[in-house]
Amino acid sequence: MKLPVFALLCALNVSACAQSTPAATDKPSEPAAKAASAAPAADKRADTPKEAMVRAALKALNPKIEVDRIGPAPMPGFQEAIVAGQVLYFSDDGRYMLQGSLYDMKAQKDLSQIGLSVLRREELEKIPVADRIVFAPVGAPKHTVAVFTDIECGYCRKLHSEMAEYNKLGISVQYLAFPRAGLGSPDALAMESVWCSDDRRKALTEAKNGRPVAPKRCSNPVTAQYEIGQHIGLQGTPMIINSEGVAMPGYMPPQQLLEALDKLAAESKGKAATAAGGR
């Protein structure tokens, strides 16, 4: 569920929900700390006049707001801005602002997901594979997905119970932590124990089966991964994201996920071939 425009723009922390302060002794690992300090991603180049107008309009509503991306919208006469994982559209004259999905009826595609996919891909690149809990098939995977997960959510547990089938179909699953109850919660502390375990895969499986995990503290990436999940507009777990940054609509059974990933891969390959042919 999207936040109303004014709630989105006027809240001091537009993406936070049910969050408490993590214990001072729980420091993220060096890669995770770098990821946290790098978010939100800022566009290094100078704004165009239209982009500057959008940025100024957002800052006028809330000087502390962090704008993730600004650029031309997929429809003429508008600019697109991404704030806290949500898409806003501004008319080129600065008069109108719209919030919501932009659907191309001819192409049967949600165009508002294009910019979000780029943001997701950039943010996920900040998380080293070593900070993920990976369940990979034997041999080279056909597809790799990043999955923001919680050890308590029912569909997260259902997905994990079918891991053998995902792997059998050639899908590699790379887990990222997103404790839904917020940082500092018992859920978050349990997930930190999982990430601090000597055998993370075994500990995660035990936790998802409802078994207690031995408490353990260490430098861990849970906080950084949680914050990136918020930053890219995570609405619920599991959030499954392919290598191009495209998010799936929640939990998907193994065969259904494979078909969706195959279709996205074919579309991406087709676009690349078209682009190469047009040079």
Instruction: Assign 3-class secondary structure to 45-63.
Output: CCCCHHHHHHHHHHHHHCC
Range 129-267: architecture per CATH:
3-Layer(aba) Sandwich (3.40)
Per-residue pLDDT, 100? 86
pLDDT at 21 over 60: no
State the average pLDDT for the chain: 85
Alpha-helix residue ranges (DSSP H) falling in 18-125 = 30-38, 49-61, 112-124
Token duo for residue 11: 């809240």
CATH class of 42-124: alpha beta
CA–CA separation, 90 and 97 (whole Å): 5
CB atoms within 10 A of CB 57: 17
**CATH 3.10.450.70 domain extents, the chain:** 42-124
Average pLDDT over residues 184-211: 97
Q: Which of 73, 66, 96 is nearest to 232 (CA)?
A: 66
Residue 259's H or E segment, with its range, is: helix 254-277
The confidence score (pLDDT) of residue 275 equals 64
* β-bridge mates for residue 28, sequence order: none
pLDDT number for residue 30: 45
Residue 123 has pLDDT above 60, yes or no: yes
Write out the catalytic residue numbers. Answer: 150, 153, 156, 180
Q: Which residue has the higher pLDDT, 99 or 9?
A: 99
CATH 3.40.30.10 domain span(s) along the chain = 129-267
The pLDDT of 91-116, averaged and rounded, is 90
Residue 1 has pLDDT above 60, yes or no: no
pLDDT at position 197 is: 97
In the chain, which ranges are E strands? 69-72, 78-83, 86-91, 97-99, 103-104, 109-110, 133-135, 143-149, 171-177, 239-241
Higher pLDDT, 49 or 41: 49
Percent pLDDT > 70 in the chain is: 81
User: What is the predicted pLDDT for the residue at 155?
Assistant: 97
User: Between 248 and 32, where is the model more confident?
Assistant: 248
Q: Does residue 29 or residue 181 have the better pLDDT?
A: 181
Cα within 13 Å of Cα(158), Cβ side = 10
Q: Using CA atoms, how far apart are residues 247 and 264, in angstroms rounded to an integer?
A: 11
Residue 233, pLDDT above cutoff 60: yes
Please, are residues 150 and 279 in contact by the beta-carbon 8 Å criterion? no
